[in-house]
């Protein structure tokens, strides 16, 4: 019998989830229900799932005959809908971030701890060829013991969303919470530790640069420290030019070498500590991901279905990856408060 999926939020991301299941896993799962208050989104979703039942509320969908709920609604609703789905006995796939506040993050983790059901967070990057290869290099000891991690993202503005909720932190939690929880999650994995504290500077400059008013911090420089002593940095600019070259770079410095990634070109370059002057580094070419630039997007759905089928936790189980979101929330707070913020450890 196929796994019955219900979709809460069927905008561009929700429909991407529908499309992957229909294209790659149709023999294993099917979308049978959907809810979204936005009529054009509902109409577009029904073109993908013409037989799906449309519900008038998220609550009604959750209480229907389903095996799992896929949540792609605005970030501020993630915890509420996910907790309700668990209470109704459903498995949950919820888009990143986990939630928009530390309190809601912990509320969902506690609900997951009380449940026998899967709570899977949509961190597709964790399933990408890029992340898998970097973790392999770390296991092989190519870089030695990790000392520092970093991420630099100088990118164009956010894509359009319904009512532009993504540029209002009341709904999105902020640019770093929505966007960089991905990158914090990856760096947490590299560091092999939980983040301890963070300091940051940032502001809202969209209106000065592009003449567009936003309600999110759109540029930031963030420094953070892990419990094991590893340190990290993140630099973000949301009003960079729309260019063909990479706008996202991530890397690791270990006591045996340095690794730098260019995600747009699907390459990883490694410099051993003993390399000679002028050495251009060992370049590792990664297999290009076939799913619209969302590296790992197909693989994360495969992992979710396998976790439900086998009753096992996935790498992006909420208990494992909540600290990517908590670090992003703490970074937003550090900018507003102008000081060092402790990242909450226990929920």
Say what the pLDDT of residue 8 is: 98
Distances (CA, A) of 299 to 2, 129, 226, 250: 19, 10, 29, 21
* 213 has a pLDDT exceeding 80: no
Distance CA 66, CA 52 (A): 12
Best CA proximity match to 159, nearest among 95, 238, 220 = 238
Query: Sorting pLDDT into bands at 50, 70 and 90, what band is 291?
Result: very low
Distances (CA, A) of 275 to 25, 85, 283: 46, 53, 14
The model carries a pTM of 0.93
Say what the pLDDT of residue 166 is: 81
Query: Sorting pLDDT into bands at 50, 70 and 90, what band is 155?
Result: confident
Q: Say which range, 123-137, 281-295, 305-319, has the weakest mean pLDDT.
A: 281-295
Distances (CA, A) of 38 to 57, 94, 163, 246, 268: 12, 19, 10, 34, 41
Distance CA 233, CA 185 (A): 13
CB 343 within 8 A of CB 330: yes
Of 208 and 135, the structure prediction assigns the larger pLDDT to 135
- Please name the residue that has the structure tokens 């000081």: 339
Distances (CA, A) of 58 to 35, 64, 72, 85, 295: 6, 10, 12, 10, 29
Q: Rounded to a whole number, what is the distance in angstroms from the first to the last CA of the chain?
A: 36
* 224 has a pLDDT exceeding 80: yes
- In angstroms, how far is CA 138 from the centroid of its own chain? 22
CB 264 within 8 A of CB 240: no
Say what the pLDDT of residue 289 is: 53
CB 323 within 8 A of CB 188: yes
Say what the pLDDT of residue 210 is: 56
Query: Sorting pLDDT into bands at 50, 70 and 90, what band is 93?
Result: very high
Average pLDDT over residues 50-67: 97
Q: Compute how many other C-beta atoms are within 10 angstroms of the C-beta atom of residue 46.
A: 14
Of 22 and 261, the structure prediction assigns the larger pLDDT to 22
Average pLDDT over residues 215-233: 96
Q: What is the DSSP string of 229-284?
A: S-EEEEEEESS----SS--EEEEEEETTEEEEEEGGGTEEEEEETTPPTT---EEE
Say what the pLDDT of residue 240 is: 83
Write the DSSP symbol of residue 13. Answer: H
* 277 has a pLDDT exceeding 90: no
Say what the pLDDT of residue 245 is: 57
For residue 34, what are the contacts with CB-CB under 8 A and spacing of at least 6?
6, 7, 8, 10, 14, 42, 45, 46, 49, 52, 53, 54, 55, 61
* Average of per-residue pLDDT values in the chain: 91
Domains and CATH numbers, the chain: 3-124 (3.40.50.720), 126-296+324-342 (3.30.360.10)
Q: What is the DSSP string of 282-342?
A: EEEEPPPPSSTT-TTHHHHHHHHHHHHHHT---TTBHHHHHHHHHHHHHHHHHHHHTS-EE
Provide, rounded to the nearest whole percent, the portion of the chain with pLDDT above 90: 75
Say what the pLDDT of residue 29 is: 98
What burial letters (b/e) apply to 178-216, b meaning 16+ CB within 10 Å? bbbbbbbbbbbbbbebbbbbbbbebebebeeeeeeebbb
Query: Sorting pLDDT into bands at 50, 70 and 90, what band is 188?
Result: very high
Question: Could you give the count of Cα atoms lying within 13 Å of 36 in the half-sphere of its Cβ?
Answer: 28
Best CA proximity match to 323, nearest among 96, 147, 5 = 96
Distances (CA, A) of 230 to 254, 268, 335: 10, 21, 21
Best CA proximity match to 105, nearest among 330, 339, 341 = 330
Query: Sorting pLDDT into bands at 50, 70 and 90, what band is 293?
Result: very low
């Amino acid at each position: 019998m196929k796994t019955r999926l219900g979709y809460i939020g069927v905008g561009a991301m929700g429909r991407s989830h529908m499309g992957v299941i229909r294209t790659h896993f149709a023999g294993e799962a099917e979308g049978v229900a959907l809810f979204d208050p936005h009529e054009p989104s509902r109409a577009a979703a029904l073109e993908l799932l013409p037989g799906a039942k449309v519900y008038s509320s998220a609550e009604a969908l959750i209480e229907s005959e389903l095996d799992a709920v896929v949540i792609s609604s605005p970030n501020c609703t993630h915890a509420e809908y996910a907790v309700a789905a668990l209470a109704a006995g459903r498995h949950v796939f919820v888009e990143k971030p986990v939630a928009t506040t530390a309190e809601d993050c912990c509320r969902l983790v506690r609900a997951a701890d009380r449940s026998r059901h899967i709570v899977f967070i949509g961190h597709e990057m964790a399933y990408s060829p890029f992340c898998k290869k970097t973790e392999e290099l770390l296991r092989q000891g190519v870089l030695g013991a990790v000392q520092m991690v970093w991420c630099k993202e100088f990118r164009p503005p956010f894509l359009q969303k319904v009512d532009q909720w993504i540029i209002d932190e009341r709904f999105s939690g902020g640019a770093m919470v929505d966007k960089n929880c991905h990158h914090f999650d990856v760096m947490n994995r590299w560091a092999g530790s939980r983040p301890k504290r963070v300091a940051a500077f940032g502001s809202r400059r969209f209106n000065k640069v592009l003449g567009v008013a936003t309600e999110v911090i759109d540029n930031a420089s963030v420094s953070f420290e892990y419990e094991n002593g590893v340190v990290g940095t993140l630099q973000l600019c949301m009003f960079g030019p729309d260019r063909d070259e990479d706008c996202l770079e991530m890397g690791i410095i270990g006591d045996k070498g340095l690794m730098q990634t260019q995600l747009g070109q699907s390459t990883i370059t490694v410099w051993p500590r003993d390399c000679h002057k002028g050495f251009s580094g060992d370049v590792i070419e990664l297999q290009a991901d076939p799913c619209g630039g969302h590296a790992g997007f197909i693989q994360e759905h495969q992992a979710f279905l396998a976790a439900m089928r086998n009753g096992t936790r996935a790498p992006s189980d909420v208990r494992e990856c909540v600290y990517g979101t908590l670090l992003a929330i703490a970074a937003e707070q550090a900018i507003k408060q102008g000081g060092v913020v402790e990242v909450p450890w226990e929920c």
